[in-house]
A and B are shown apart, each in its own frame.
Chain A
């Protein structure tokens, strides 16, 4: 099948890109892995969830889902995109097996995933991501086993702790890498989005009102337990996230929820070898884009947190701009019509910059966090590769992350390096005494996500296999 534009990802960026392009007259096919639009931030509750709670995210997600449903966009949810080829051919695994679409233009809006900097015990069952907890709360009407310690950094800490309390759970402590002062410095910038500031204060008051201890400038030292997380030990850290040697505290837990910010996915621009640069504030390697989301590859656009962590509000605007750019490049929008539609989004995006910088700053990786990972701690969860093994690979001659992968299998497992990549790269760079940029990034290759071969092949009998006629003798 052919169309004018393919959009990968149905979150705030991809959803709005598809709407803007379709409104300008392009035929658009939108792929997403989840059963409904919204991405992770505006994730839809699954159908059987009890009393879906009202929240700003829920309302914005519902508005996007309604707008897409009443638009001419060809919506392909529940599809795992595993290959993106030249001329743009997208292959995806759906309920009826493999399907493909071709289009001269493609917008990648594939979002971000969570960064968790390793500590002893982080692989134990009962330790889950901070973003994972938001999925449980928002979409599954579920909360982790209590008592829960919520640890890490950024605005999700308070949101998750308040969400667990609201759902009737028990939060033993909130453990924040940042100091109270870091938050106060950030607040003037956060104040540029008053509605979100109010939401943040609401969360904070909810935690304070329940007497939940909030331990600023602390981090998880280790999790103890045999077959699941039973106890978390925390200790004070300095402004870089390194442990100060101050006294430890321990909490008996049912679950630990932990997250250290987000890493932009960016697989599709990497797959096409689009120009990228390392941006610590934005979470990792990001493609170089013009003001409308054009990458260095003709016809390939990118938007949303997958091209640098900026948050949902910025993703809406950047997605809209990418959709408009695709329509203009396809000759469907005149210069004046494009300007009329794009100018408001450009202006609004510029106004958001202080807010998104403040949020990104609270979530950015701190140098001392990686320095604190013990040598025997697993960094690559899939292949059980420890920090010590990464350092040994550096001594043995690995000079960039793809060599590290060949030497140790770090990043070679089914998550394809998404969970360990940024930590492994930082450890390698530190071992070699070079800047993070110098050790590069994983090479992206299809399949973009693991797909079972049996699902791709579908069901067939021996008689279905075409047998060519025998060659004449």
Chain B
């Protein structure tokens, strides 16, 4: 049986400041300034939202600000997670535009 990783892997810099953010009520720790999409993937959160028409599961896809698949609510506003740096106390909601 092949062991499947639950999450992406990241190596934070030795001096990186680890901060806590809240994702749908759950606490997640990540280096301050890391792109949010990577922070979520490294916490095992790959499913970010559901597509508006088919309700299909979606996650970050292009990681460069083009595909809009990672557009979720951050502190109440729609943001592309791959373009949004992690900040302490950030409130993330795993939902997109309905």
Contacts and interface: CB of A to CB of B under 8 A. Distances in A.
A384 interface: yes
Contact of A132 (B34, B63, B78, B97): B63
Contacts of A72: none
Contact of B38 (A51, A142, A253): A142
Given A46-B33, A46-B34, A252-B2, A142 B8 contact: yes
Interface string B12-50: 111111000000000000011111001001100011100
Given A129-B61, A142-B41, A50 B14 contact: yes
Contacts of B15: 48
Nearest to A254: B5
B14 A146 contact: no
Interface string A444-456: 0000011010110
A232 to B, nearest CB: 12
Given A48-B32, A136-B38, A125 B9 contact: no
Interface stretch (A58-66, A269-277, A315-323, A410-418): A410-418
B13 A49 contact: yes
Contact of A141 (B4, B10, B41, B61): B10
Interface string B36-76: 00100110001110011110111111111111110100000
A158 interface: no
A381 B49 CA distance: 13
Interface in A368-409: 378, 381-384
A447 to B, nearest CB: 13
A254 B46 CA distance: 11
B66 A46 contact: no
A127 B61 contact: yes
- Interface magnitude class on chain B: 35 or more
B61 A128 contact: yes
B6 interface: yes
A17 interface: no
B83 interface: yes
A462 to B, nearest CB: 20
A247 to B, nearest CB: 20
Nearest to A128: B61
Given A126-B59, A142-B9, A169-B9, A414 B71 contact: yes
Contacts of B64: 40, 113, 131-132, 135
A47 B86 CA distance: 12
Interface of B: 2, 4-17, 31-35, 38, 41-42, 46-48, 51-54, 56-69, 71, 77-78, 83, 85, 97
Interface of A: 33, 40, 46-51, 113-114, 123-129, 131-133, 135-136, 140-147, 167-169, 172, 227-228, 230, 252-255, 378, 381-384, 413-415, 418-419, 449-450, 452, 454-455
Q: Which 5 residue pairs spanning A and B have beta carbons closest together?
A: A125-B59, A145-B5, A125-B46, A132-B63, A414-B68
